[in-house]
Amino acid sequence: MTKYLISFPGETFHVAPEDMEAVSADSHAAIAETKAAGVYVFGGGINEEIEPVLVDADGAVGLSATHLTGGFLVLELPTRDDALRWSARFAAACRTPQELREFGYDPES
């Protein structure tokens, strides 16, 4: 099966404070569904309070050129159509569009 990244950039997440409790409950319910379906690999939110860094091969640390924000989920699914369905489920739960990306297969990783 293929692993898929479902994510949303933090800047697309616009939920009124009074709706946050419902969004949290809905997104946790969607995560529970992925676990019950046996397709959940890993998920979480990016801690935007910690500055991202770029680490060179020699260990030198500099500022990252890009900032990953928002939340993400990795699912292992049999088809891209399944990934599209789960993406739609999370778009509804989180009240924001989701990006879908497919991980390349590497038998060594």
The tens place of each residue's pLDDT in the chain, 109 residues long, gives 999 999 988 888 888 999 999 999 999 999 999 999 999 999 998 888 888 889 999 999 998 877 778 889 999 999 999 999 999 999 999 999 999 999 998 888 7
Q: Which domains does the chain show, CATH number per domain?
A: 2-46+69-102 (3.30.70.1060)
Q: Alpha-carbon distance 45 to 8, whole Å?
A: 10
Instruction: Give kind and range of the element (H or E) at residue 77.
Output: strand 71-77
Q: Which residues pair with 87 in a beta bridge?
A: none
pTM: 0.84
User: Is the Cβ–Cβ distance between 43 and 71 less than 8 Å?
Assistant: yes
DSSP 37-62: TT-EEEEEE--TTSPPEEE-TT--EE
